[in-house]
Amino acid sequence: MQLSHAMSLLDAARSEAARLGVTVSISIMDAAAWPVAFIRMDGCPLGAIEVSQKKARTAVLFQMDSAVFATIAQPGGAAYSLENTNGGLTSFGGGVVLKGADGSVLGAIGVSGASTEDDIAIARAATQPAA
């Protein structure tokens, strides 16, 4: 993941957040879960900073969106306790995997600070631009 790519993802996510009238933190990580770029929009709750990072980390480490991860990694789920590995992961939506044209994982985006629905919508707007 090059910085120029990460910056364009940040811009797209930030535009969608503005359109929805919310303020969020947005983390971009590479395919090995190392941070590439991050922004916190004015007014975003401070707790959302780390949440955005953990959402991106969750998506990269298990190659699935955090909303999907949530279906298995919780009490009663098939992999309860998985959410407590790797420094603590995030069992709700807002972390979305970034894939290349060939399906390989390029990294992930994590969005936090609005409702989970809006967080997901913002992450998807960045990763799946409309035609």
Quote the least distance from Cβ 38 to its own copies, whole Å.
4
Nearest distance, CB of residue 114 and its own copies, angstroms: 12
Is the CB of 99 or the CB of 131 nearer to its own copies?
Answer: 99
Sign of CA dihedral 1, 128, 23, 50: negative
The residue (of 89 and 125) whose beta carbon lies closer to its own copies is 89
Tokens of 78: 């098939």
SS3 11: helix
Q: Shortest Cβ distance from residue 125 to its own copies (Å)?
A: 18
Q: Which is nearer to its own copies, 87 or 130 (CB)?
A: 87
Residues that bind its own copies (CB under 8 A): 2-3, 6-7, 30-42, 45-47, 49-51, 54, 58, 60-63, 70, 73-76, 78-86, 88-92, 116
The least distance separating its own copies from the CB of residue 81, rounded to whole angstroms, comes to 4
Q: By the 8 A CB rule, do 5 and 122 touch? A: no
Rounded-to-integer distance, Cα 101 and Cα 48, Å: 30
**What are the distances in angstroms from CA 114 to CA 4, 17, 31, 48, 54?**
26, 9, 25, 9, 15
